[in-house]
Structure 1
Amino acid sequence: MDQLRYTICFIKREDEVLLLNREKPSWMGSWNGVGGKFQNSETPMECILREIHEETGMKFQEAKFKGIVTWDEGDKDIGGMYLFLIEVPANYNYSVPVKTREGILDWKKISWVMNPENTGIAANVPKYLPKMLKEEGEFRYHCVFKNKMLLGVNIEEI
């Protein structure tokens, strides 16, 4: 597979994750992890650490690589992103909400993210977040969309 174009990270603090309610496509108006597009010849790790700093002001030395999220919409090209996790201590202080040029950052309970009635979260996040948070290993989460509706997610170890 060619290099993917995006990165995404979930910053976890106990039973919460830091999410961004995006003001721009894709997933405009939905809560999602932080991340973005590669610049120049960045590695996935360099990209996600830069994006975290740009979007949150936080600086980290590393993030845990958890796999990749890919997607297709039938006959359209496959897209994808490198998936990362950072776990911070329970007493990690990051006051929210924070308004940024990308949207609004806020800590959200994982139970809120996973609630089946929640229509405010990017549709594929609840399909891969639990496995990503709980299991060791790296996985490919392939999401199949039709007319921007999520039809399913196939998961395989990589």
Structure 2
Amino acid sequence: MFNEYLSVKWYGVEDMNLLYFASEVICTWIEYIRLYSPRTPESQIHPRKQEWVTSIDETADPDPVSGVQPTTRRLVDKSDTSKVDLAAIESSPAEYEQWEEMQPGFMDADYVEIVLHEGGCLYIPIGWWHNVRGLRTGISVNFQWGERTCENRMCQN
């Protein structure tokens, strides 16, 4: 059934935070997880789009005069991550109006909270946005099945 999967190891420090979505199983140390239903409108989650990323071109030779390594730009699909900075929101909850102005509707999005303890596993179905925050320094292993394509927040394997 799960012939093809991607195993991702997270070496996380306490309070590491990211809001994204994928179909996966998380096996972990102690982590706080928020799950947002696929029914949550995109207008509340604020997914990123494609973004330009600049990186050093390691295949090219450095400039002979300056010794500077050339860079390359490429367009990266970031639609599986949100623009929302949940760590900033949690550290300044009194600024509700400011967050609501920056990410309209997110503060009112429904979610389910889970604390996953050592050795615990959680299956997250396709389409569920989730925020994971390490409550202790540790290692997590995520397994993601199949190749994902995300269009209008509906992922397909």
Q: What's the TM-score, normalizing by structure 2?
A: 0.27
- Which of 1 and 2 has greater Rg? 2
Q: What's the TM-score, normalizing by structure 1?
A: 0.27
More relative contact order, 1 or 2 (CA 8 Å, 6+ apart)? 2
